[in-house]
Amino acid sequence: MVKEMEGKDSRNGTCPFHNAGQDHQPFEHDGMYEFFARIRPEVRVFHSPEIDYWVVTHQNDIKPILQDSENYSAAIATRPICPWPQTMRDYLDQRDFRNESVQVACDPPKHTRIRHIAARFLNIRQFSFYEDQLRELVRGYLDRMAQKDEVDLVEEIFYEFPAQAVFLLLGVTDFDPRKIKEWGDLRIKTIFGRPTEQELNEAARDIADFWDFSSALVDARVEEPGDDYPSVLLKLRDGDDEKLTMNELRNLVFGLQLAGHETTTNAAGNLFYELMRHPDQWRKLVADPGLIPNAVEEGLRHASSVVAWRRIAKREVEVAGKRFPEGTKFLLSLGSGNHDDEVFTDPETFDVSRDNARRHIAFGNGLHTCLGAPLARLELRILLEELTQRFPRMEFVPGQEISWTKTLSFRGPSALCVRLNA
């Protein structure tokens, strides 16, 4: 049993520890940052009854949890918030869906073994080889956009471009990027959202199709290897299940198609939303492109695309001075941690010149730090470089209402309308 916070909120005579849990809306991102800014000075951890998780709000409490695989397990990280019905599980079994945890929801020593192999390809040196191709992709999208006065950036470029980047890694040249995005969006909703049982059962076919596509891609590389991600994994595996099983390999390819584009689509939308809302910051980048790499970090900090991640206690633990029993589920609010005034001065201000913006935890921390972080940074930098040069007078279309994804962990605008040559 966890002892509640001692003391009362002097402003209204109520316990802030209790009110935080009652006011927390884990699936609602409109007003999320304002909520955490209000409670963070007095509430480091609180229970959210809607999801039965303890929410951790400060970066200095979140990072030790992410770094500690002895006391906290990542096994819960991708467990569906709404359990999948048995009918859905039976259907997926019939379709030979063999999903297993190999990265973000996997603990050492399995995680260590698999990450060591995946990192032989997913690293900054390898990603740099794709920069010219990524830039040409972006310029192609901008050429098509240039014929219009007003566009939705999410629809025109942010939705597809990260999927195209993943295709480069996979060596895929003949598949619709929007189909991959649809599959990825669906899987995000079935894991981190609140779909109905009917919606889950209807989603099963597309999830199985997604798995079949990934498996077929691996099978094709067995027959005709190249220099892409699945081919490199097969070469490193060298037929040895002790290094990497075939099912683990299939899951690495399956997972890349989700992780490699969903977060970057949202990160791009979030970054450009903040820049359009703060035209003085946009003008800074137009005038001084040297600020762009730091602007990417500030965008990741100020408006994270992954706002929360999950851990479960392996044994009794202490968080923010409170004891929690084995089996306690924690929701680590990365978004709140990235606005922590113990780390960042004036954290609610979006400032592309911020000197410590890179201290954010948007990509996690510790053993599970995102392997794709260098690729996401590269894509965001290219987008900023090309768009500031091509459309320096771009501005936000006034009056539009921004709709945010309604999931526990992922946050991004569904549309972002701008005038290209205001």
- pLDDT tens digits, the chain, 422 residues: what are they? 454 433 333 333 344 555 898 999 999 999 999 999 999 999 999 999 999 999 999 999 999 999 999 999 999 999 999 899 999 999 999 999 999 999 899 999 999 999 999 999 999 999 999 999 999 999 999 999 998 999 999 999 999 999 999 999 999 988 787 887 788 888 889 999 999 988 898 899 999 999 999 999 999 999 999 999 999 999 999 999 999 999 999 999 999 987 777 789 999 999 999 999 999 999 999 999 999 999 999 999 999 999 999 999 999 999 999 999 999 999 999 999 999 999 999 999 999 999 999 999 999 999 999 999 999 999 999 999 999 999 999 999 999 999 998 899 999 999 999 999 97
Burial environment of residue 95 by CB neighbours within 10 A (0 to 12, 13 to 18, 19 or more) = middle
- Compute the CA torsion angle 255, 260, 263, 265 (nearest 10 deg): -130
How much is the CA Rg of the chain, to the nearest whole Å?
22
- Compute the CA torsion angle 168, 173, 179, 185 (nearest 10 deg): -10
Q: Confirm if 311 and 73 have CB atoms less than 8 A apart.
A: yes
Q: b/e map of 262-299 (b: 16 or more CB within 10 Å)?
A: bbbbbbbbbbbbbbbebeebbebbbeeeebbbbbbbbb
Q: 3-state SS of the chain: helix, strand, coil percent to 5? A: 50, 10, 40
Q: Which fold has domain 70-303+366-419?
A: Cytochrome p450 (1.10.630)
Going by C-beta distance under 8 Å and a sequence separation of 6 or more, which residues neighbour residue 223?
A: none
71: helix, strand or coil? coil
Question: Using CA atoms, how far apart are residues 358 and 64, in angstroms rounded to an integer?
Answer: 18
pTM to 2 decimals?
Answer: 0.93
Q: Where do the domains of the chain lie?
A: 1-67+309-349, 70-303+366-419
Task: Specify the CATH number of the domain 1-67+309-349.
Answer: 3.30.43.20
Task: Report the DSSP beta bridge partners of residue 157.
Answer: none
Structure tokens at 91: 């259907």
